[in-house]
């Protein structure tokens, strides 16, 4: 798993990060910092080796999260049978994260239970888990995130 790295930055850099995210150029601070590091790496390593440089100015905007390893996760969610409001919210999330959900099983008893198998990078999986867990009428919610295979 990629370690979390923390460091202090100046007020000018904080203002710049906030501006990049606020102007919707980037999803969050991490994306700004990753792209900056990738550009620096290309400048330094690309000039030395001439190969392996990553083109951040390509036609398709480069997504720094594509450099993160793919992970898998399993989720189990229970809701009340017939809770159409919550089901609609879950359906919207499933549409937004359709590339991440690789398997889904749903069955009903006293509660409707949905199990998911996810595969994507950690920020994307965390996004789905956070949004799903924010729904107020869930009866139960459990998840496991598996570490990447080396």
CATH of the domain at 121: 3.30.70.1150
Give per-residue pLDDT as tens, 138-147. Answer: 999 999 998 7
Pairing of β 111-120 and β 71-80: antiparallel
pTM of the model: 0.56
Residue 88 structure tokens: 């609609």
CA-based max dimension of the chain: 64
User: Is the domain of 121 the same as that of 91?
Assistant: yes
Structural domain count, the chain: 2
Give per-residue pLDDT as tens, 1-41. Answer: 456 677 788 888 888 888 888 886 777 887 788 788 888 88
pLDDT average, residue stretch 83-110: 92
111 domain residue, yes or no: yes
Q: Is 70 left (phi over 0), alpha (psi -120 to 50) or beta?
A: beta
Q: What are phi and psi of 69, to 5 degrees?
A: -70, 150
User: Is the domain of 59 the same as that of 28?
Assistant: yes
Give per-residue pLDDT as tens, 69-87. Answer: 788 999 999 999 989 999 9
Give per-residue pLDDT as tens, 39-66. Answer: 888 777 665 444 555 555 443 455 655 6
43 domain residue, yes or no: yes
Given a contact cutoff of 8 angstroms between Cβ atoms, the answer to whether 64 and 31 are in contact is yes
Q: Which domain covers residue 34, as residue numbers?
A: 11-63
User: Is the domain of 87 the same as that of 107?
Assistant: yes
User: Is the domain of 99 the same as that of 57?
Assistant: no
Instruction: Note the pLDDT of residue 43.
Output: 78
Q: List C-alpha distances in Å: 120 to 66, 77, 95.
A: 9, 19, 15
User: Is the domain of 90 the same as that of 142?
Assistant: yes
* Torsional sign, CA 98, 103, 108, 111: negative
């Amino acid at each position: 798993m990629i370690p979390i790295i923390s460091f202090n930055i100046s007020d000018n850099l904080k203002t710049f990060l906030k501006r990049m995210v606020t102007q919707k150029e980037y999803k969050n601070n991490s994306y700004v910092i990753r792209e900056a590091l990738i550009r620096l790496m290309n400048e330094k390593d690309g000039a030395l080796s001439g190969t392996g440089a990553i083109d951040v100015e390509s036609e398709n905007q480069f997504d720094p999260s594509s450099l993160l390893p793919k992970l898998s996760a399993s989720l189990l969610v229970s809701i009340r049978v017939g809770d159409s409001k919550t089901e609609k919210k879950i359906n919207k999330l499933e549409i937004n994260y359709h590339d991440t959900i690789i398997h889904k099983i749903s069955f009903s008893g006293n509660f409707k239970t949905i199990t998911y198998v996810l595969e994507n990078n950690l920020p994307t999986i965390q996004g789905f888990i956070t949004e799903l867990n924010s729904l107020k009428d869930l009866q139960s919610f459990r998840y496991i995130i598996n570490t990447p295979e080396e």
